[in-house]
Amino acid sequence: MYGILASIFLVWRIGVVGNWTTECWILLLICLMGVRKDQIDVDWKRFFVIGIPLLGILYYFYGSGNGLWWKIANWMFENNRHPWNWDDEMNAIPLNSGGWARTFTHPLLDRAMVWVYNYGFVLSLWICIVRSYWTKSVKKMMSYALSGHLLQFPLILPFYNLILLREVWWVKGQPDLLGRQFATENDLLVNVMNCFPSMHTSISFAMLLLALREKDRIFKYMMVTYCSAIIFSTMYLQIHWVLDVLAGMAFAYGTVKLADFFIKLAIKLVPERIKRSYNRKAKAYVSESAAA
């Protein structure tokens, strides 16, 4: 009971820090509907010993990571470490601005896409991590976390440090469809300068690829729909170039494969006696449940 209460508290705190709306919680609940189909046979008490601290650590880095990211972004801007400026080249490529994504527009669709984009950077990842937590799988939690921000942040920084490519609306002199307010010109330039590859795309596409490995169809369909909407929103809102999106998808695929490699390596490094002990506990739990 204490483990379940602690778990619910952590999930609630994640939502509070992320300023989740009612729609965010509804999306999470829908994705949790078929969680039993992907649960593994491990005693909850046994899982909580590892799962709760791991979820707590991920929550801590989530709370502190945003400030670190903007410190790095400001450092890159102030030191002007961009040997390549791709604004003109990207703008010259036909259809690359993604204007075709706005063939049909409507105020309701505009608001929906703004919500999808604003929450897509972290919500897609947290839905997957929280769901993998309730499947009682530490391996899945680490797979989603590594394929998301933990590996993508350090791996994408060289691109953002070398390539200056600003958002579509800024390059084309159009209004910002997100309606963002910038206190200074420096704040505006820092926000719009890192486009290649699109990290909104890479995070959501990595979650999509991993979600397809799950058994529950509700979760798979919801994540394919939601993550695809995130990718589409980057072009609909005139933020990312089409080539940014394609590069983000390729980057995500590579990150997922790299995360798979690290997890397989970590499993090999775990002493066999610990693996046997864990499996023995799991089998004993299954036997007791069957006898009851």
Interatomic CA distance for residues 159 and 197, integer angstroms: 7
Residue 12: inside a domain: yes
Residue 132: inside a domain: yes
Number of domains present in the structure of the chain: 1
| For the chain, percent of residues with pLDDT exceeding 70 | 88
Interatomic CA distance for residues 73 and 80, integer angstroms: 11
Residue 104: inside a domain: yes
User: 61: domain range?
Assistant: 2-287
pLDDT in tens, 69-105: 667 666 666 666 788 999 999 999 999 999 999 999 9
Residue 254: inside a domain: yes
Q: What is the pLDDT of residue 263?
A: 94
Residue 274: inside a domain: yes
pLDDT in tens, 241-282: 999 999 999 999 999 999 999 999 988 887 776 666 555 555
Residue 10: inside a domain: yes
Q: Assess contact for 195 and 165: CB atoms under 8 A.
A: yes
pLDDT category, 65, cuts 50, 70, 90?
Answer: low
Q: What is the pLDDT of residue 234?
A: 97
Q: What is the pLDDT of residue 281?
A: 53
Residue 292: inside a domain: no
Q: What is the pLDDT of residue 7?
A: 92
Q: Give the residue-averaged pLDDT of 27-36.
A: 95
pLDDT in tens, 164-216: 999 999 999 999 999 988 888 877 877 788 899 999 999 999 999 999 999 99
Interatomic CA distance for residues 221 and 103, integer angstroms: 25
Residue 210: inside a domain: yes
Interatomic CA distance for residues 174 and 82, integer angstroms: 24
Q: Which amino acid, residue 186?
A: N
pLDDT category, 24, cuts 50, 70, 90?
Answer: very high
Q: Assess contact for 268 and 139: CB atoms under 8 A.
A: no
Q: What is the pLDDT of residue 290?
A: 42
